[in-house]
Amino acid sequence: MGNTERHLFHSTGTFRRLVNPQTIVGLIVTLAMMVAIIPAVGTTAAGPPLYPDLRTPSPANLYFENGWDGVWRLRFSNTVSNYGGRLEITVDANKRIYQNVYDSLSGGSLVSSTRVGSDLIFHPTHNHFHFADFARYELLVQDKRGAYRRSPRQSQKTTFCIIDFQKVNSPGPSSPQYTSCGENFQGLSAGWGDTYYADLPDQWIVLGSSRLADGNYALRSTADPYNKLRETDETNNEGVTYFRVQNGQIVATGAPALCRSTPDSAPVGTVVTLSCTGFGNNEPVDIRWGGPSTNPLQTETSGPTGTVQAQVTIPEGGSGNHYIIATGRTSNTEIAAIFNTEPSAFRQHWNRVVGSKTMITLKGYSPGENVRLVFNVSPGSNVVLGTTTVDSLGRGSMQITIPTSRLGRHDVIATGLSSGLSATAPINVNPSMQVVPAEVSAGGQVGISLRGYGGPENVTVTVNNANAGTIRTSSTGSTTASSSKITVPESLAAGTYTLTATGQSTGASVSASINVTGIDLAAEPTQPPATPEPDPATPGPDDVETPTSDASPIAHAGIDQDVTDDDNDGFADVWLDGSGSYDPEGGEPSVSWTLPDDDDEDLDPQEIGTKLVEKVSLPVGVSIVTLTVTDAAGNTATDEVKVTVLPAPAPDSADGTPTSD
């Protein structure tokens, strides 16, 4: 356990050290022989894989200890047994961990070698490693309704040096196959168990300055709690010991009547399995949510041994712990299980394009709290979509508009502003295109406005499969019609054609129709027409006032953003996106991004950019950035965007607690 070399003591008092140099040398030779005789995976016909089946008996030998440091601890012995195929762990030269699976309890062929997502705790002095998170120990406390709640007291991160220690089941080898946990190789044979005794270092749960108060408790041990290893059965990994503390002493008890939901934490609407014991035989049992006086959700009948199992749909309600209560109609036995409701966010649509709308439905938040929704446009950069208030049952909804973003999955993150709890709804952004204008003469130019492509990437534009040019998107996967133009081939006759834009790196593709007006050359006169005599009643060129355009451009500064000062220098890089701006008459407007001068309102605003899509550096705090677009006739339009630069989170101290300035 922990970082201490493990020693195991048999009941006979004999002593065994797990690692010595001779063992390591022998192990390396053994491994070399195994590599020579085991065929490569997939090169020969192998039988079906035999995965391990880890189980944990109830922890034993519980006692209190007051250590030399004055800290009380609950000590206990724990065993992890294997009732399936062998568990074999190997490590390569880069300290990457793999689980090997064979087609036989011993010998046989290697079927698969799968990398395991576990930490590797290596002890260079002992020349062996511990497998992290192989077991988890939890102290449970019985509350006033008889439900066992998790207490804050749990074991530290548990690591195991895995070996064959004792025979627990008849199948499998009769002698231990994994006898030391060296640098590259350890495991647990079929039918064997690995035991950590109560007196070993770190084999405890820390209690603090005093032993447990009188009351009912349970100690739960779970093998492979995070399912990092592949097994035949993930549901039988727990062992529980129920005990009572009376006058400061531990008194062992049998398993009490109890209920438990699986899982015990999930969103509203999840179907959980409620398993209960302690009722009369064939007794009707009412299942309630929240309290004993609520209307039953359903009624089940216990089996011959007084057990009840029910499939319960979690009703709508606020986040946090709730009771699922089972009450026997004839025995009046009342047993409760604890269930933790988690918040959830559901999207109306999966595939969306930039600028389109969809509905986000929220459930399981704290009653009446405000929930803020943000759109993750890129790693570390979120755009605030808005805030909504949930009702007394933690329900709410909000229609959102997809902001400018690149192709692919993006998360809408809904965070309760009082609870701090979050839920995520993924949305897939698809490419979209707008052609401006949609009608053009052969040989003329059109602007291409793209959204939802890779950013930046080159995009090939074709007209009826004929290459019409290449344009490049911004970092947000976008282009503007005013700055991204292609020329329609002069050879096209009048008609409707398909214009397609295909990203060269992402393969994203979308099409739109374009109407081409051709020129009828045969109808053109071969001689210039005679100049007609001016009609005295018709005003001449000098008599006509040339009309000027009074159509103003459109300014769109994008959606409010939240970004973080990741390098803690007081500033953050921000992409200002005004690509939604345009001139209705097809011109290319001039652009100016400005910040107000906070020191003197009489001074002109500070210009920080002159492109529709501009990367700028803004200080920590809230900045109101103004976008001004001006067309060729001098008409202007403005729009504002709020950018909030959040300070970098405080670094953690050596003991894991946040530091303060």
Q: Which residue has the tokens 């008409």?
A: 635
Residue 424 inside a domain? The answer is no
The answer on 146 and 78 residing in a single domain is: yes
Query: Which is higher by pLDDT, 313 or 131?
Result: 313
Kindly report the CATH number assigned to the domain that includes residue 619: 2.60.40.10
The answer on 180 and 107 residing in a single domain is: yes
b/e for 37-62, b at 16 or more Cβ within 10 A? Answer: eeeeeeeeebeeebbbbbbbbbbbeb
Q: How many domains does the chain have?
A: 5
Q: What percent of the chain has pLDDT over 90?
A: 40
Per residue in 594-626, pLDDT (tens digit) is 988 655 445 567 888 888 888 888 888 888 899
Per residue in 322-357, pLDDT (tens digit) is 889 999 999 988 888 889 999 999 999 999 999 999
308, 275 contact by CB (below 8 A): yes
Residue 337 inside a domain? The answer is yes
Secondary structure letter of residue 653 according to DSSP: -
Please give the pLDDT value at position 37.
37
Answer positive or negative: Cα dihedral of 182, 187, 188, 189. negative
Residue 53 inside a domain? The answer is yes
Answer positive or negative: Cα dihedral of 531, 533, 537, 540. positive
Whether this prediction's pTM lies above 0.85 is answered by no
The answer on 220 and 104 residing in a single domain is: yes
Average pLDDT over residues 510-533: 60
Q: Tell me whether the omega of the peptide bond preceding residue 539 falls within 30 degrees of 0, making it cis.
A: no
Kindly report the CATH number assigned to the domain that includes residue 286: 2.60.40.1930
Task: Report the range out of 130-134, 223-227, 424-428 with the highest average pLDDT.
Answer: 424-428
Please give the pLDDT value at position 34.
44
The answer on 331 and 234 residing in a single domain is: no
Whole-angstrom distance, CA of residue 131 vs CA of residue 154 = 19
Query: Which of residues 252, 278, 310 is at a domain's end?
Result: 252
Query: Which is higher by pLDDT, 496 or 647?
Result: 496
Please give the pLDDT value at position 618.
86
Element (H, E) at 25: helix 21-37
Length of the chain: 661
Q: Which amino acid is at 499?
A: L
The answer for 196, left when phi > 0, alpha when psi is -120 to 50, beta otherwise, is beta
Average pLDDT over residues 541-552: 45
CB atoms within 10 A of CB 519: 12
Residue 216 inside a domain? The answer is yes
CB atoms within 10 A of CB 300: 20
Average pLDDT over residues 573-601: 76
Query: Which is higher by pLDDT, 527 or 281?
Result: 281
Q: Answer yes or no: is pLDDT of 1 > 60.
A: no
Query: 58: Cβ–Cβ under 8 A, 6 or more apart, which residues?
Result: 221, 239, 240, 241
Which residues make beta-bridge pairs with 574?
616
Average pLDDT over residues 393-414: 94
Query: Which is higher by pLDDT, 537 or 609?
Result: 609
The answer on 98 and 33 residing in a single domain is: yes
Whole-angstrom distance, CA of residue 423 vs CA of residue 392 = 18
Q: Answer yes or no: is pLDDT of 407 > 90.
A: yes
Residue 536 inside a domain? The answer is no
Query: Which is higher by pLDDT, 544 or 634?
Result: 634
Average pLDDT over residues 525-552: 43
The answer on 485 and 566 residing in a single domain is: no
Please give the pLDDT value at position 546.
36
Mean pLDDT of all residues belonging to the chain: 81
As to burial, measured by CB atoms within 10 angstroms (0-12 exposed, 13-18 middle, 19+ buried), residue 339 is: buried
Query: 558: Cβ–Cβ under 8 A, 6 or more apart, which residues?
Result: 383, 403, 404, 576, 577, 578, 580, 641
Residue 309 inside a domain? The answer is yes
Query: 246: Cβ–Cβ under 8 A, 6 or more apart, which residues?
Result: 214
Residue 364 inside a domain? The answer is yes
Helix, strand, or coil here: 415?
Answer: strand
CB atoms within 10 A of CB 263: 11
Q: Which residue has the tokens 């079906």?
A: 48
Residue 533 inside a domain? The answer is no
Which of 38-47, 53-62, 251-260, 294-303 is predicted least confidently?
Answer: 38-47
The answer on 240 and 266 residing in a single domain is: no
Q: Answer yes or no: is pLDDT of 16 > 60.
A: no
Whole-angstrom distance, CA of residue 51 vs CA of residue 41 = 16
Give the domain extent around 400. 349-404+411-418
Per residue in 486-502, pLDDT (tens digit) is 998 888 888 999 999 99
Whole-angstrom distance, CA of residue 64 vs CA of residue 74 = 5
The answer on 354 and 302 residing in a single domain is: no
The answer on 565 and 451 residing in a single domain is: no
Q: Answer yes or no: is pLDDT of 30 > 60.
A: no
Query: Which of residues 418, 449, 478 is at a domain's end?
Result: 418
Q: Answer yes or no: is pLDDT of 450 > 50.
A: yes
Q: Answer yes or no: is pLDDT of 542 > 60.
A: no
Query: Which of residues 221, 252, 283 is at a domain's end?
Result: 252
Q: Which of 240, 334, 339 is nearest to 279 (CA)?
A: 334
Query: Which is higher by pLDDT, 28 or 582?
Result: 582
Q: Answer yes or no: is pLDDT of 635 > 80.
A: yes
The answer on 614 and 567 residing in a single domain is: yes
The answer on 174 and 67 residing in a single domain is: yes
The answer on 462 and 399 residing in a single domain is: no
**CA distances, 58 to each of 84, 198, 239 (Å):** 19, 13, 4
Please give the pLDDT value at position 650.
61
Q: How confident is the model at residue 22 (pLDDT cuts 50, 70, 90)?
A: very low
Average pLDDT over residues 42-58: 82
Q: How confident is the model at residue 284 (pLDDT cuts 50, 70, 90)?
A: very high
What is the chain's Cα-based Rg?
A: 36
Please give the pLDDT value at position 536.
40
Please give the order of strands across the beta sheet that includes 495-503.
439-441, 509-517, 495-503, 458-463, 466-472
DSSP string, 420-478: --EEEEEEEEEPEEEEESSEEETT-EEEEEEESS-SS-EEEEEETTEEEEEEE--TTS-
CA atoms within 13 A on the CB side of 159: 20
